[in-house]
Amino acid sequence: MTAHDLVFVIVGLVTAVSAILVVTSRHLMHAALYLALTLTGIGGVFLVLGAGFIALVQVVVYVGAVAVLFLFGLMLTRAPIGREALDSQNRGLGLAVAGALFVLLAALIIPAFGGESTAEVTGPTIEAIGIAIFADWVLPFEVLSMLLLAALIGAILLARREAGESGTEAEVTRIEMGEALADEPDRHEAVGTSAPAGELGAGGGR
Amino acid sequence: MAIDWLAIAPEVALTVTALLVLAADLALRGDAKQLVNPLAMIGTVVAIVFAVVLWAEAPRVAFEGQYVVDSFAVAFKLLFLGTLLAILAISARYFAEGRYFQGEYYFLLLTAFIGMLLMPSARDLLVLFIALETVSVPAFVMVGMRKRDLYSSEAALKFFLIGVLSAALMLFGMSMVYGFTGTTRLEGIAQALAGDAGSVPLLLGSVMLVIVGFGFKISAVPFHFWAPDTYAGSPLPVAAMLAVASKAAGFAGLLTIAFVAFEPVADVWAPVLGVLAILTMTLGNLVALQQRDLIRLLAYSSIAQAGYMLIPFGLARPGAEVVNQAAVRAVLFYLIAYAVMNVGAFAVAIGVNRRTGERSIRDYAGLGTRSPLLALAMTVFLLSLGGAPLTVGLWAKFAIIEAVAVEVTVFGLVMASFLVVNSVIAFFYYLRVIREIWFEPAAAEAPRLQPALSLSVVVVVLMVGTILLGVLPGLVADPTVVTTFATGG
C-alpha cells in the first residue's frame, strides 16, 4: 500500500462516515454541516485522483455555495432547527431502499470496472480545461448562460411579491375532477364570483 | 476555431429576441408592455427565415461534430418555430388580460424554444442534456406563473420534482455511458457499442436510464403522472407549449439518441419502448374517457398520442436501415400532424376560456350557437386527433401503420392492432365533446364568445392546415425529405 492509497482510504472513510452521519444525525444543523464535510470529502477524492481543478470547483460550488445555502435556508425560514421532528419514522424503509440500491450498484459496477488496473493518473492542466470549455465546448457553455439567466429571472418571478400592474388579476382555476362533483353549483354564476377566492397570497397589490 | 454562424443562426435570432424582450419589458410601462408580443413574433419570423435558408444549405456540421444541421434537424426547427408563432399569437390576449408577468413570460418562452431548436441538431450527450434542461427549466417557472392559484403552484411543483428526478436518472445513465465508451459524441458511442462494449449489463442499464429520461419529457407511461395536473394548472398557452412543443423536443432528442448513438443495441431498447407504447396509449385513452375537464382530457389524449408515436421506436432493429428510416419518418410526420391539431385544440380552449373561465366539457354545450367558428374548428381538431378521414390525423396514423408494414413482425402487428383498438376508444371521448358542442343547448345566460383576432387567425390557419394536409398529405410527407442522420465526423 503506497502513501497514495493510504490517503485515498482516509479520504474515502471520512466521506463515507460523514455521509452516514448526515442521515443519522438528529440535529438538522449538524446534518447540514456533515453534508458540507461529505462534499469536501468528495473534493478530496478528486484531489487524490489528480484532478486538482475539479477538486477546487467541487469545494467552491458545493461547500461554498450549496451547503452554505442550506444553512442560510434553515436559518432564514422557520424550519425546526433543534433536536425535534427529524425522524420521519421511515428508517426501515429508508435502510431497505438504500441497501438495495447499494447492492444493485455494487453488483453492476464492480464487474464492469473491477478489472481495470489503476494507472498513474495525471489530470489535465487548468489551461487544457480552459481551452476545452471556451473553444471546444463553447456552444453548450453559451447555452448554459441563457439557461442560468432564465433560472435567475424565473426565481425572481416566483419569489417576487406581486404588486402594481403584474399578476393581480389571476383567476382561480375551476377544475372538475373525475365524477366527484355530483351537486355542482351553476358554473356560470360561480365563475363570476370566484375571483376573490383566488386571493391566496397574504400580500398582494390591492 | 471559426464558428459556423449560419448553422446556429435560428438559435442566435431567438436569443437576441429573448434579450430584447427582457429589455423592452423593463423599458415599457403600462399597456405599452404588450408590444413585447409582436417583438417576439418578429424575432420568430427572422428565425424561420434563417431556418428556411438552412434547409437549402443542409447538411452542415459545426462545432467539430457536436452540432449538425441536416434535413431532419431543419424539419424539426421549422416545426418548433411554427408552433412558437402559433403559441405567441394565442398568448397575446391571454397574458395581456390576465396581467401576468408578460415580459418574463415571453423571455422564458423564447428561452425554452432555444433549447428545442438545439435538440434535433445535438450530436453530443452534453449538448443534448443542456438542450433538454433549457427546455425544462423555463417551463417549470411558466407553469407556476399563476401564483394566486394553488392549482398552478401544485402543477409547477409536481412538474419540477418529476423533472428533476428524471434529469438525475438520465445524467447518471449518461455518465455511465461516457465511462464505458470514453466519448460523449453520439457517433463515437455508436462505434463503441457496436464493438465488444455492447454486452455489459451495466452499460445496457445506462442506455435504458438515458432513454427513460426522455420518457418524462414525452410523458410516456409510467412517467406521465405530472402531465394532467400540470396541464390543468398552468396558464393555457403554457399547457399548449408543454403538450406540443416540449413533447416534440423530447421526441427529437429521443430520436437522435436512439437512432444515432444507441442504434447498435436497438434489440435491447426497442422491445421496451414498444411495450411502453402499448401501455401509454391504452392507459392514456382509458383514463381520458373519464375526464370532465377539457384540459385534462386533452392531457390524457396527448399521453395516448405519445403512445402512438412510440410505436415506431418498437420497430427499430440494429443495422436495419430501411426499417429505422421508416420509423424516424413516421414519428416526424406524426409530430407535425399532432402539432397542427393539438395547438388548434388548445387555441379553441383558450378562446372559450377567455373572460368566462369555462373549461369543463359541459361548458362547451351549445358552442355551435355561441361561436360557430370556434365550434367548427374544435370539431375539426378533435376529429383529426381521433384520426377521422379527410383530416391529417388519419394520415398520421397511416404513417405509423406504413412503418410497421415495411417489415412485418409479430410484435409490430401487435402494436398496430393496439393502435387501431385505441383509435376506436379515443373516438368515444372526442365525439362526446363534439356532441356537447352541437347537440346540447347552451346555458341560458352563457355569453357569446369574442375570440381575439390573433387567436381566430391561428384557429383558421390550423383548421385549414388540418384539412389541407388531410387531403394532400404529400405536402409534408414528401419522401424526398430524407431522414437519415448526417454524421458529425
The pLDDT tens digits for B220-270 are 988 888 999 999 999 999 999 999 999 999 999 999 999 999 989 998 899
- Contacts with A147 from chain B: Cβ below 8 Å: 111, 115, 130, 133-134, 137
CB contact under 8 A, B144 and A158: yes
pLDDT of residue A164: 42
- Contacts with A49 from chain B: Cβ below 8 Å: none
pLDDT digits (tens, 9 = 90+) for B108-166: 999 999 999 999 999 999 999 999 999 999 999 999 888 878 888 899 999 999 999 99
Looking up residue A71, the CATH number of its domain turns out to be 1.20.120.1200
Residue B407 CB coordination number (10 Å):
13
**Measured in Å, how far apart are chain A's first and last C-alpha atoms?**
71
Contacts of B9 (CB under 8 A, 6+ apart): B47, B50, B53, B54
- Contacts with B202 from chain A: Cβ below 8 Å: 108-109, 111-112
Q: Which of A168-172, B10-14, B193-197, B264-268 has the lowest mean pLDDT?
A: A168-172
How confident is residue B331, by pLDDT bands cut at 50, 70 and 90?
very high
Q: Residues B304, B228: contact at Cβ < 8 Å? A: no
Do A130 and A55 fall within a single domain? no
In degrees and rounded to multiples of 5, residue B67 shows phi and psi of -135, 120
pLDDT of residue B99: 64
The domain in which residue A141 lies consists of: 125-175
Do A14 and A68 fall within a single domain? yes
State the average pLDDT for chain B: 89
Do A1 and A70 fall within a single domain? yes
In degrees and rounded to multiples of 5, residue A119 shows phi and psi of -95, 165
Strand stretches in B226-294, DSSP E: none
The pLDDT of B325-351, averaged and rounded, is: 92
Helix spans in A1-137 (H): 3-24, 28-48, 52-58, 68-76, 91-113, 126-131
User: Is the N-terminal amide bond of B222 cis, ω within 30° of 0?
Assistant: yes
ipTM, two decimals? 0.90
Do A77 and A142 fall within a single domain? no
What is the distance between the alpha carbons of residues B87 and B455, in angstroms, rounded to a whole number?
9
pLDDT of residue A204: 34
What is the distance between the alpha carbons of residues B357 and A192, in angstroms, rounded to a whole number?
9
> How many domains does chain A fold into?
2
On whether residue A130 sits in a domain, the answer given is: yes
In angstroms, the separation between the Cα of residue B291 and the nearest Cα of chain A is: 6
On whether residue A111 sits in a domain, the answer given is: no
CB contact under 8 A, A143 and B179: no
Contacts of B257 (CB under 8 A, 6+ apart): B125, B128, B186, B210, B211, B214
How confident is residue A186, by pLDDT bands cut at 50, 70 and 90?
very low
CB contact under 8 A, B100 and A199: no
Chain A residue with minimum CA distance to B197: A112
- Contacts with B171 from chain A: Cβ below 8 Å: none
On whether residue A138 sits in a domain, the answer given is: yes
Do A19 and A75 fall within a single domain? yes
Do A22 and A74 fall within a single domain? yes
- The yes-or-no verdict on residue A202 having pLDDT over 70 is no
CB contact under 8 A, A172 and B148: yes
pLDDT digits (tens, 9 = 90+) for B409-463: 999 999 999 999 999 999 999 999 999 999 988 887 777 888 888 899 999 999 9
Q: Which residue of B99, B150, B200 is in closest CB contact with A166?
A: B99
Beta partners for residue B346, in sequence order: none
Q: Touching check for A144 and chain B: CB below 8 Å? A: yes
On whether residue A205 sits in a domain, the answer given is: no
**Residue ranges covered by each domain of chain B:** 9-477
Chain B residue with minimum CA distance to A136: B63
- Contacts with A112 from chain B: Cβ below 8 Å: 180, 200-203
* Cα-trace Rg, chain B: 21
Q: Which of A15-24, B80-89, B305-314, B476-485 has the lowest mean pLDDT?
A: B476-485
In angstroms, the separation between the Cα of residue A146 and the nearest Cα of chain B is: 7
pLDDT of residue A82: 59
DSSP three-state, residue B60: strand
How confident is residue A198, by pLDDT bands cut at 50, 70 and 90?
very low
pLDDT of residue B230: 93
pLDDT of residue B482: 53
- The yes-or-no verdict on residue A185 having pLDDT over 50 is no
Among B148, B293, B363, most A C-beta atoms within 10 A, so best to mutate, is B148
CB contact under 8 A, A150 and B292: no
On whether residue A199 sits in a domain, the answer given is: no
Q: Position of cell 466519448?
A: B183
How confident is residue A183, by pLDDT bands cut at 50, 70 and 90?
very low
Residue where a domain terminates, one of A22, A56, A85: A85
Report which of A195, A204, A154, A147 is spatially closest to residue B101, judged by C-alpha positions: A154
Q: Which of A21-30, B31-40, B216-225 has the lowest mean pLDDT?
A: A21-30
Do A4 and A66 fall within a single domain? yes
pTM: 0.88
Beta partners for residue B185, in sequence order: B124
User: Is the N-terminal amide bond of B237 cis, ω within 30° of 0?
Assistant: no
Q: Which residue of A146, A177, A186 is in closest CB contact with B134?
A: A146
How confident is residue B355, by pLDDT bands cut at 50, 70 and 90?
confident
How confident is residue A171, by pLDDT bands cut at 50, 70 and 90?
low
Q: Which of A116-125, B50-59, B317-326 has the lowest mean pLDDT?
A: A116-125
pLDDT digits (tens, 9 = 90+) for A125-141: 888 888 888 888 999 99
**Measured in Å, how far apart are chain B's first and last C-alpha atoms?**
16
- The yes-or-no verdict on residue A184 having pLDDT over 60 is no
For helices B226-233 and B294-315, angle between their N-to-C axes, nearest 10 degrees: 140
The fraction of chain A above a pLDDT of 90, given in percent, is 25
- The yes-or-no verdict on residue B201 having pLDDT over 70 is yes
pLDDT of residue B476: 72
Do A129 and A81 fall within a single domain? no
pLDDT of residue B451: 84
pLDDT digits (tens, 9 = 90+) for B387-402: 888 899 999 999 999 9
